[in-house]
Copies of this chain bind each other. A is one copy, B any other.
C-alpha cells in the first residue's frame, strides 16, 4: 500500500495517481467519502500539505467535492470530459483568417417573419436591427461570404462606431452596453445560394453553400445577437481541433 516504487516523480502526484486508481477501481464508489486528510497522511506517510496537493489534483479532475466539516465526497469514477476545445479569441472562433473584414451594405430595423424567426429561434414578429454586409479578404477578389447580423434594436448603436467592420459585433455590444456573454451557440448546415445573393457574392444562384449561424446569449438581455453567414463553395472551411483533456500534468 502507498508508495509505488516504479514512480519516481513528486510524491503528491504519486498519491494522486493512487487515489485515482482506487476511485476508478471502485474502492471508493460515487457518493462515498474518501478517508480524511489526516488518515491519508498516515496511510501514505506524507505530510498534510502533500496529501492536500494530491487531493487538489483529484478535485481538479472533477472526481471530488470537498467541504469543511464533511469530508471529500466522490462524485465520479472517471474524468467526465473526453475532449475539449478552447477558443482563444473571437477571431479564432469566427475562423476568419486575419486580413478579412466586413463591408456593410445596408442596415434596417425589421420584424422577424416566420421563416426568419425559425432561423433565429425567436418568436415571429420580434423586432431586430439588421446589418447586411459582405465579408472580404484582401487576398482574393471574390467575397468570402454574405453576413446578416441581427442585434436587438437597443444595441443598434454599434454600427456607428469607427472600428465597426473589423471588430466582432458581440464584443462591441459587450463594451458599449456592458452586456456579458453567457453562452454562444454555433450551427452549421448545407444550403444553397439565394437568387438575391448571386450577384453580390459573384456566384450562380442555387449553387452549394455553407450557412453558419451564431447566437449570442447575454446575462442582461438574453439572446441579443444572431449572425447568419452564407459562404459559397470553396471559399470557406470551418476547422476546429479537439484534444483529450490533459488533466494538468504540470506543464
Residue numbers of A with Cβ under 8 A of B are 65, 80-90, 93, 180-192, 207-210, 231-234, 236-245, 251
Complex Cα distance, B190 from A207, in Å, reads: 10
Find chain B residues with CB under 8 A from A81 CB: 86-88
Contact B183–A232 (Cβ < 8 Å): no
Residue of B nearest to A212 (CB): B188
Q: Which residues of B lie under 8 Å from residue A84 when comparing CB positions?
A: 84-87
27 pairs, A vs B, C-beta closer than 8 Å:
A81-B86, A83-B86, A84-B85, A85-B87, A86-B245, A87-B242, A93-B242, A180-B244, A183-B241, A183-B243, A184-B242, A184-B243, A185-B239, A185-B240, A186-B238, A187-B240, A188-B188, A188-B210, A188-B237, A189-B236, A189-B238, A190-B210, A190-B233, A190-B236, A192-B207, A208-B209, A210-B210
Establish whether residues B210 and A240, one from each chain, have CB atoms under 8 Å apart when the complex forms.
no
| Chain B: minimal CB distance from A194 (Å) | 12
* Chain B nearest CB, measured from A13 CB (Å): 16
Q: Report whether B93 and A88 are in contact in the complex, using a CB–CB cutoff of 8 Å.
A: no
| Distance between Cα atoms of A244 and B231 in the complex (Å) | 27
* B residues near A208, Cβ cutoff 8 Å: 190-192, 207-209
**Hey, which chain B residues are within 8 Å of A192, CB to CB?**
207-208, 233
In the complex, A234→B191 CA distance in Å? 8
Please give the distance in Å from A171's CB to the nearest CB on chain B. Answer: 10
Given contacts A85-B84, A86-B83, A208-B192, whether A186 and B233 have CB atoms under 8 Å apart is no
Of the candidates B83, B86, B210, the one whose C-beta lies within 8 Å of that of A184 is: B83
Closest Cβ–Cβ distance, residue A143 to chain B (whole Å): 14
Rounded to whole angstroms, the CA-CA distance of A205 and B184 in the bound complex is 35
Residues on B with C-beta less than 8 A from A236 are 189-190
CB contacts (< 8 Å) of A190 on chain B: these are 190, 208-210, 231-234, 236
Distance between Cα atoms of A237 and B210 in the complex (Å): 11
Task: State how many angstroms separate the Cβ of A230 from the closest Cβ of chain B.
Answer: 9
Taken together as a complex, chains A and B put the C-alpha atoms of A94 and B233 apart, in Å, by 23
